[in-house]
């Protein structure tokens, strides 16, 4: 293989190779070229997204650590802080779904551990192609099995998540994993290397050839040849990770570590170069001192291996024996593999000889590409929805049951029952609600978390969809009574080299940033996953938002299920609603068209804040936002969750249906739209509270009985509604 073929096969362009020669003042050897290839990959270097990411607000009164570390950290009160982040493992999951998903969970857990926090909760956000295709069914089942297999064994509860299905994700699933950790504010750890002659210690598993050039693989489009790249997918050991968590937390508690860093994408190369660059120092790695699982590994393989369950620590020489003894006690590999130096380079040695040396700052500073933002023509084609071409339903009972049974709307119980969501005994609101709620032991405090994405909306209107994604997360946290405080995000898009995809990325980020500014929810961490496309096409632009919120009194929370017979059902409204981009339009009429209504961010915040105050004041314990499937689906979810029927007065909502079409009012979608339920004795107080707040609302019905009724349009046995909603999701 000639020189050009070498750097091209490693994912480097002609321009990037020329830049490397310019920086070094010479041609790199193969090891050095490998270091650049992984660190300058899109997965590690954010070459196409960095200029756009600057648009996100990062500061806030609760923010202790924003972007730039392994995870963001926010203060929640009484000396406690939450570290959290979401990351993708899309490409690995496309070719090896079980291990791809499992190691995605393991990797995000270690990001939280690197901040000195104990991982206490996992969430996920998943996308697959339609389940009528065998390959999609296989990917779906194995990804879910991988998440459960790793999370359950490592002892961190999986408390929430979301999944959707669309043709655009066929062959390229999206597998995003979020982890939340708990720490005392004074125990927060950062990954900067300091102290000349301090030692570099590797903790965890032995190093093998799994995952070599995985970061480069994650920065390519998926093709028919991708199946042959299974060796780029790591293999996980959750039991080792559990011991690694306990060992690292113990070492931090005893003050034996200067700093700590996860070994994920790009392995030792990424961790060592980033630690060195942040600290303004150099690091020397002795590749022949790295404990290996396989014999005959070359130094470049050692440096870029992505073997799992490994952490890199900086340790003072006087404390290294204590660190190694602790590793042995926890049945982990512990080895001194290098030292901190003052030369500013990542230097690789073997048998005392330097075999590669690159300034750490060069590796950590990938080239940046700023591209033209050009609005794609397809947006004009999908902008208008012609309602005259869409017939109104003849049988609303049949339409509702059909919607409830669709994979995008049916219950996720069959998924989350595969996960241990109560280990640790801190889960207050179980999966299936608008957001997960966790307690902080020894306090009245709690926190809530949700993951949300709106790929179809972002395809039809990238900026509006980006804003709506943040708004949905804000609504979901408010529905359980939590004050939203910050977000992490994972930006899943196609190749940025294509104008359509780059426009989607830029516009979604702009919409998300505007929403974050209005809601006061800064972006404290995140991940970018580009090149999500196959030979058949590109995935929907799918920014995923992981949002966390705080409950001052965790006992004051709400859930969606109806609690009592005879409760008044109240709709907090934001009309008009629309069928554009709706689940109803796609499921019933097979169409993806029309620009959905752009969210009114000020109204979104106003309505959500009112609902949250009603919950924290103890007035409301039943709340749910109206989202996919519209009003009828939201009511059905509340009835089934509570096991109590409901009767809605059609005359109370009919005037607001719009255009004289009843399907719009029942199944249309919009934002700032909530359902709450209260007992009769609280009704007058609720009216006064809503009146003072100045939000529009309607008393639309009563709970009770065993039927689900909306005027003369829908009349079903509750058990039939439940049967549709709780359908078998694994065909």
Residues taking part in catalysis:
43, 89
How far is the C-alpha of 67 from the C-alpha of 676, rounded, in Å? 37
How far is the C-alpha of 85 from the C-alpha of 156, rounded, in Å? 15
> Which residue is listed with tokens 């039939």?
720
How far is the C-alpha of 229 from the C-alpha of 214, rounded, in Å? 9
Tally the C-alpha atoms within 13 A of residue 366's C-alpha that lie toward its C-beta.
Answer: 24
Q: At what angle do helices 630-642 and 396-405 cross, to 10 degrees?
A: 70
**Type and span of the H or E element at 91:** helix 90-95
Dmax over CA atoms of the chain, in Å, equals 84
Tally the C-alpha atoms within 13 A of residue 462's C-alpha that lie toward its C-beta.
Answer: 23
Contact 588, 393 (CB under 8 A): yes
Contact 698, 383 (CB under 8 A): no
CA distances from 619 to 555, 607, 703 (A): 13, 16, 17
How far is the C-alpha of 389 from the C-alpha of 260, rounded, in Å? 60
CA distances from 417 to 15, 30, 148 (A): 50, 48, 9
Q: Which of 698, 630, 465, 534 has the alpha carbon at shortest distance from 172?
A: 534
Q: What are the φ/ψ torsions at residue 714 (nearest 5 degrees)?
A: -130, 130
What contacts 481, CB < 8 A, 6 or more positions away? 437, 448, 551, 556, 557, 558, 612, 615, 616, 623
């Amino acid at each position: 293989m000639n020189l050009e073929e070498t750097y091209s096969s490693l994912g480097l362009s002609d321009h990037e190779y020329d830049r490397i020669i310019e920086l070094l003042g010479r041609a790199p050897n193969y090891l050095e070229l490998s270091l650049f290839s992984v660190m300058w990959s899109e997965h590690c270097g954010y070459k196409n997204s960095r200029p756009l990411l600057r648009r996100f607000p990062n500061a806030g009164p609760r923010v202790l650590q924003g972007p730039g570390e392994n995870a963001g950290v926010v203060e929640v009160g009484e000396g406690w802080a939450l570290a959290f982040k979401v990351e993708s493992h899309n490409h690995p999951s496309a070719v090896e779904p079980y291990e791809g998903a499992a190691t995605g969970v393991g990797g995000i857990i270690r990001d939280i551990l690197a901040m000195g926090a104990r991982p206490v909760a996992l969430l996920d956000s998943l996308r697959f192609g339609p389940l009528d295709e065998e390959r999609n069914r296989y990917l779906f089942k194995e990804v879910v099995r991988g998440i459960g297999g790793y999370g359950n064994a490592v002892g961190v509860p999986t408390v929430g998540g979301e999944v959707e299905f669309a043709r655009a994700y066929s062959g390229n699933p999206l597998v995003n994993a979020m982890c939340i950790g708990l720490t005392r504010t004074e125990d927060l750890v950062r990954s900067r290397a300091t102290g000349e002659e301090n030692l570099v210690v590797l903790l965890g598993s032995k190093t093998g050839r799994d995952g070599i050039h995985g970061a480069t693989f994650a920065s390519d489009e998926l093709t028919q040849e991708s199946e042959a790249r299974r060796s780029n997918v790591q293999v996980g050991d959750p039991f080792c990770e559990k011991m690694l968590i306990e060992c690292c937390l113990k070492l931090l508690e005893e003050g034996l570590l200067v700093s700590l860093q996860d070994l994920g994408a790009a392995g030792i190369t990424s961790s060592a170069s980033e630690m060195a660059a942040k600290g303004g120092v150099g690091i020397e790695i002795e590749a022949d001192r790295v404990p290996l699982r396989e014999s005959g590994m070359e130094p470049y393989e050692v440096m870029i291996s992505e073997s799992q369950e490994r952490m890199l620590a900086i340790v003072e020489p006087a404390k290294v024996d204590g660190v190694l003894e602790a590793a042995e006690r926890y049945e982990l590999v512990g080895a001194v593999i290098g030292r901190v130096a003052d030369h500013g380079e990542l230097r690789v040695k073997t048998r005392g000889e330097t075999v590669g040396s690159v300034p750490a700052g060069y590796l950590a500073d990938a080239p940046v590409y700023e591209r033209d933002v050009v609005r794609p023509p397809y947006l004009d084609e999908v902008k208008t929805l012609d309602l005259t071409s869409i017939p109104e339903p003849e049988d609303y009972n049949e339409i509702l049951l059909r919607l409830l049974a669709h994979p995008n709307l049916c219950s996720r119980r069959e998924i989350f029952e595969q996960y241990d969501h109560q280990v640790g005994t801190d889960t207050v609101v179980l999966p299936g609600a608008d957001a997960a709620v966790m307690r902080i032991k020894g306090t009245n405090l709690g926190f809530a978390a949700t993951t949300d994405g709106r790929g179809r909306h972002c395809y039809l209107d990238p900026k509006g969809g980006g804003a709506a994604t943040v708004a949905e997360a804000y609504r979901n946290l408010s529905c359980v009574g939590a004050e939203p405080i910050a977000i992490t995000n994972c930006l899943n898009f196609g190749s940025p080299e294509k104008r359509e995809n780059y426009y989607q990325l830029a516009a979604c980020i702009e919409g998300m940033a505007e929403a974050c500014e209005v809601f006061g929810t800064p972006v404290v961490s995140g991940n970018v996953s580009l090149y999500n496309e196959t030979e058949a096409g590109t995935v929907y632009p799918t920014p995923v938002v992981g949002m966390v919120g705080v409950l001052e009194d965790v006992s004051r929370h709400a859930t969606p299920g109806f609690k009592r017979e005879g409760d008044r059902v109240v709709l907090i409204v934001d009309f008009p609603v629309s069928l554009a981009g709706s689940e109803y339009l796609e499921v019933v009429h097979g169409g993806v068209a029309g620009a959905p209504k752009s969210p009114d961010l000020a109204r979104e915040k106003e309505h959500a804040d009112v609902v949250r105050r009603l919950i924290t004041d103890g007035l409301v314990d039943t709340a749910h936002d109206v989202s996919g499937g519209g009003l009828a689906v939201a009511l059905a979810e509340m009835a089934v969750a509570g096991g109590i029927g409901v009767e809605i007065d059609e005359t109370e909502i009919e005037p607001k249906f719009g255009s004289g079409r009843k399907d719009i009012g029942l199944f249309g979608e919009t934002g700032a739209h909530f359902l709450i339920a209260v007992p009769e004795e609280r009704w007058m107080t609720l009216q006064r509270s809503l009146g003072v707040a100045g939000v529009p609302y309607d008393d639309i019905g009563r709970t009770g009985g065993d039927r689900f009724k909306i005027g003369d349009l829908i009349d079903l046995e509750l058990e039939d509604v439940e049967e549709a909603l709780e359908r078998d999701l694994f065909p």
